[in-house]
């Protein structure tokens, strides 16, 4: 710890306190978490869930564990430093977040959860205090209660702050999974819109009462297993009809309300996974789709005109290479024959005639493709007379060959001249690709003044046992 200079304490929790510090060697600002209990062996430190889980995960939206230090039986975790947590950001805010901001936060969190669940862990303690923010970046922190999906039950009953605790945990289920993180995200997402907790229960029973008063009482159709859990602990659900969330979260769009409703489902199996939540229409602005893909006019070829022209030129040059090789081949014998020379000249003229015909067809198809797509390549890539000059050069060679004397040497000379045409026109450059732009949302807080939550009227967090 001599390498770090402690500045001030920034947080205090059940298992440890967090300090802001500076690395004396690199001048990097870090966050040091000092554990309150003592650890008498290094193996005991390495077996901690927080250490085991963070050592296996590396994601831009999961806080990075830089170092683990044990001195005098005291354990220190050195993390990357983040400016504040999401609860502090909401508490000090006068008005609610825009939907674009909520979408940005939630999109990053769901990405981290999808990665975490895929790696075999679920967090079990998601709440605004454990979501750290620096500018527009948010990261999941505090993996002290993280658990492996493949670990054997029973699990502990108390796993998270009560306001974000899933119903199956409130009913003391010993078997649960990553769906508890999805329930917490539904409550957090609603809180981002209103700056008030969605289910602020003062006890486990009151928490269930708050949940029933909003999403309605469960039944055999919505959550049969929950009724069995309630019977096992002799608990009776209060009777309520569901309330549409748009009345409680008036500033949220229909897509946002739909996603919150899915996340806050009684039955864990009916909640979407983190990967499925990312595919919800609420996050569609986060995925950029090029206009050429989604708005392609009818009849437009899938291949850009520049690519088609390039293919035509390459095909033409390939024929020139093959023709030059054939015409440059020496005869098997040195004897000259008038009939042989005449047939060779006829063959060369026939190849040139076919070349001219094919070239004119390529020009027509190229012009038609350019006319349909209305694409105008830059002038430097298509100088004036580029195609016409090439056609005239081939035509001139054809006329010269027509007046040549019947001689194998002359035909060979003409073939050598044709070989010089191998350096054909360079293919046109394709236009540069469009860079994907960011998404923007113009959604504002649309609630009436009497519906807007009072600023800074926040519930005290100490009741969240």
Whole-angstrom Cα distance, residue 180 to residue 117? 12
DSSP string, 285-305: GGS---HHHHSPPTT--SS-H
Q: Which residues contact 114 (CB under 8 A, 6 or more apart)?
A: 273, 274, 275, 278
Partners of 139 in the β-ladder:
132
Whole-angstrom Cα distance, residue 353 to residue 336? 25
Kindly state the tokens that stand for 60. Answer: 């831009």
Comparing CA positions, the residue from 394, 406, 400, 405 lying closest to residue 324 is: 394
Kindly state the tokens that stand for 261. Answer: 């409703």
Whole-angstrom Cα distance, residue 8 to residue 324? 81
Q: Which residues are catalytic?
A: 125
Q: Where is 12: in which H helix or E strand?
A: strand 4-12
Number of Cβ within a 10 Å radius of residue 422: 12
Whole-angstrom Cα distance, residue 2 to residue 23? 9
Number of Cβ within a 10 Å radius of residue 24: 11
Q: Which spans in 86-151 are helix H?
A: 86-91, 99-118
Comparing CA positions, the residue from 123, 124, 133 lying closest to residue 91 is: 133
Q: How far is CA 3 from CA 22, 39, 347, in A?
A: 8, 21, 86
Here the contacts of 15-22 (C-beta below 8 Å, separation 24 or greater) are 15/144, 16/77, 20/81
**Burial of residue 92 (number of CB atoms within 10 Å: 0-12, 13-18, 19+):** exposed
Q: How far is CA 328 from CA 38, 405, 407, in A?
A: 89, 18, 14
Kindly state the tokens that stand for 425. Answer: 């026109």
Whole-angstrom Cα distance, residue 252 to residue 442? 12
The backbone torsions φ and ψ at residue 200, rounded to the nearest 5 degrees and listed phi first, read -85, 70
User: CA angle at residue 14 from 11 to 17, to 5 degrees?
Assistant: 35
**Burial of residue 122 (number of CB atoms within 10 Å: 0-12, 13-18, 19+):** buried
34 labelled binding-site residue: yes
Rg of the chain taking only CA atoms, in angstroms: 36
Residues at the annotated binding site for ATP? 34
């Amino acid at each position: 710890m001599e390498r770090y200079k402690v500045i001030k304490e920034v947080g205090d929790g059940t298992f440890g306190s967090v300090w802001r510090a500076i690395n004396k060697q690199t001048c990097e600002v870090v966050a040091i978490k000092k554990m309150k209990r003592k650890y008498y062996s290094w193996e005991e430190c390495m077996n901690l869930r927080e250490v085991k889980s963070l050592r296996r995960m590396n994601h831009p939206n999961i806080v990075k564990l830089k170092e683990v230090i044990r001195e005098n039986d005291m354990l220190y975790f050195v993390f990357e430093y983040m400016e504040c947590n999401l609860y502090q950001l909401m508490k000090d805010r006068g008005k609610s977040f825009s939907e674009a901001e909520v979408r940005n936060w939630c999109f990053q969190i769901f990405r981290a959860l999808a990665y975490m669940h895929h790696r075999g862990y679920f967090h079990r303690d998601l709440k605004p205090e454990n979501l750290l923010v620096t500018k527009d970046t948010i990261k999941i922190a505090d993996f002290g209660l993280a658990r492996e999906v493949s670990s054997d039950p029973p699990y502990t009953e108390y796993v998270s702050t009560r306001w974000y605790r899933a119903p199956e945990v409130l009913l003391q289920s010993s078997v649960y999974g990553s769906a508890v993180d999805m329930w917490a995200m539904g409550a957090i997402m609603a809180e981002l819109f209103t700056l008030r907790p969605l289910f602020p229960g003062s006890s486990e029973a009151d928490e269930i009462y708050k949940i029933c008063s909003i999403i309605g009482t469960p039944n055999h159709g919505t959550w049969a297993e929950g009724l069995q859990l309630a019977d096992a602990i002799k608990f009776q659900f209060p009777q309520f009809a569901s309330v549409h969330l748009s009345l409680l979260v008036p500033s949220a769009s229909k897509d946002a309300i739909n996603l919150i409703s899915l996340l806050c489902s009684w039955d864990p199996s009916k909640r979407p996974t983190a990967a499925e939540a990312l595919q919800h229409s609420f996050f569609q602005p986060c995925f950029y789709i090029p206009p050429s893909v989604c708005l392609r006019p009818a009849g437009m070829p899938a291949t850009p005109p520049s690519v088609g022209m390039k293919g035509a030129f390459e095909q033409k040059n390939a024929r020139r290479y093959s023709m030059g090789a054939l015409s440059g081949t020496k005869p098997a014998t040195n004897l000259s024959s008038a009939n042989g020379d005449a047939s060779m000249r006829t063959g060369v003229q026939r190849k040139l005639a076919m070349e001219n015909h094919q070239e004119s067809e390529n020009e027509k198809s190229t012009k038609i493709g350019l006319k349909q797509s209305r694409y105008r390549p830059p002038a430097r890539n298509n100088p004036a007379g580029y195609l016409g000059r090439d056609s005239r050069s081939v035509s001139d060679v054809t006329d010269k060959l027509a007046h040549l004397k019947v001689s194998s040497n002359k035909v060979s000379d003409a073939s050598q001249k044709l070989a010089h045409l191998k350096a054909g026109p360079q293919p046109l450059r394709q236009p540069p690709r469009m860079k994907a732009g960011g998404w923007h949302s113009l959604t504002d807080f649309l609630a009436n003044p009497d519906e807007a939550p009072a600023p800074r009227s926040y519930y005290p967090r100490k009741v969240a046992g």
